[in-house]
Amino acid sequence: MKMPHGIMKKLPEDVILCIFLRIPVKSLMRFKCVSKNYYTLLQSTTFINLHLNRTTTVKDEFILLKRSFKDDINQYKTIFSFLSGDGDYDYLNPIFSDFDVPNMTDTQSIIFDQLIGPCHGLIALMDDFTTIIFNPSTRIFRLLPPSPFDRPKGYHRSIKCLGFGFDSVVNDYKVVRISEFLKDDCYGYVQVVEENVEIYELGIDCWRELDHVNQQFPTIFWVPCSQIFYMGTFHWIAQRVILCFNMSTEIFHHIRMPDPCHNIRNHSLVILNESLTLICYRSVAPTSDPIEDLMEIWILKDYDVSESWVKKYTIRSLPIKIPLAIWKDNLLLFQNRSGYLMVYDLRTDNVKELNIHGCPESMRVTVYKENLTIIPSGSESSTPVHKF
């Protein structure tokens, strides 16, 4: 959108505000350089929140795709692709050049990393040791400092799960990490001695341990796309339940899975029709038994009410390895067993393989809308932000 600066200067401030809310972030970044007044407005918390919460449609949605390629023995190249569908899922068009992701190069990272968000505008890419917070619209990112808490002497630490979300009460972002301390008994068997929860708050640049955890966590499954932030709460797939952590109260609870899903090995969490949604699937090779190849999609109609699960779709014989996301409320994105990105239309049953490839199990997808959210930097000594 091009408009002479002289004309803009004559417009009332509320009109300028309405114009700014309707133009792409790339153009807004340029307007920051036009005048000091525009810079102040576009950097203000008021405008950033207005822009984040503006009315949008599915046409305003973009796809962030993370995938990896083998670069050397036990070394991988991980990239972000920024894509737009332009209303046609037969082709996904790049809106930026691909970006090489730092600090995510080994086998452990590409298979067990998690892409989480958007949470109040920001997205996190995480593995056992590394957390990168970024805004895909402004292309600003920050590598978070590692936790300072070490395992007790003589113990092993195992990370059970990771989470990232926004606390609307304190107006800050939080990273949560659940781990367990293990010790070999006198017979050489490993025993869980203690479970531990750590919280990192971006705004104050500080790690702390949660001291009121007095429960034993269920078995949590660390598989791709098995966690999601929704309704101020982080969710993880666990054994027969979804483990939940409220980012504001910092209290755990759980939601029971639908009974028919208990005997299905693989589960993913997505959002469909603005509701928490559970995908139950098998990622093994096709079988001669059609029941074995079924995928089920369940929607939780009333949040936090386990009895309100409703089976929305039953899908047969998809070559699925990992469900990735549901886009535009009807397009299921998934990686197939050959490593290609595929799209399945829930309304028409059409399936399409796209010419986008990555190492099997390495793809992650999140659907986002443009925003100007600033990554909190905490203190002056905190890790700096960068642009990619």
pLDDT tens, position by position, 301-357: 999 999 999 999 999 878 888 999 999 999 999 999 899 999 999 999 999 999 999
* Tokens read off for 151: 């395992």
pLDDT tens, position by position, 26-55: 889 988 888 888 899 999 999 999 999 998
pLDDT at 291 over 80: no
Q: How confident is the model at residue 388 (pLDDT cuts 50, 70, 90)?
A: confident
The pLDDT of residue 162: 94
pLDDT at 191 over 80: no
The pLDDT of residue 6: 55
CATH 2.120.10.80 domain span(s) along the chain: 56-376
Task: Name the residue among 69, 95, 91 with its Cα closest to residue 81.
Answer: 95
Q: Which of 76-90, 108-122, 187-201, 321-335 has the largest mean confidence?
A: 321-335
Between 195 and 185, the higher pLDDT residue: 195
Question: What share of the chain in percent tops pLDDT 90?
Answer: 52
Between 74 and 271, the higher pLDDT residue: 271
Asked whether 35 and 20 are in contact (CB, 8 A), the reply is: no
Q: What's the mean per-residue pLDDT of the chain?
A: 87
CATH number of the domain located at residue range(s) 56-376 in this protein: 2.120.10.80
- Average pLDDT over every residue of 120-124: 95
The pLDDT of residue 104: 67
Please, how many CA atoms are within 13 Å of residue 194, restricted to the half-sphere of its CB? 10
pLDDT tens, position by position, 245-272: 999 999 999 999 999 888 777 899 999 9
Between 3 and 39, the higher pLDDT residue: 39
For 107, phi then psi, to 5°, come to -60, -40
Between 231 and 33, the higher pLDDT residue: 231
The pLDDT of residue 56: 87
Longest distance between any two alpha carbons in the chain, whole Å:
81
Q: How confident is the model at residue 105 (pLDDT cuts 50, 70, 90)?
A: low
Question: What share of the chain in percent tops pLDDT 70?
Answer: 90
The pLDDT of residue 75: 78
Between 92 and 378, the higher pLDDT residue: 92
The pLDDT of residue 331: 93
Q: Which residues contact 153 (CB under 8 A, 6 or more apart)?
A: none
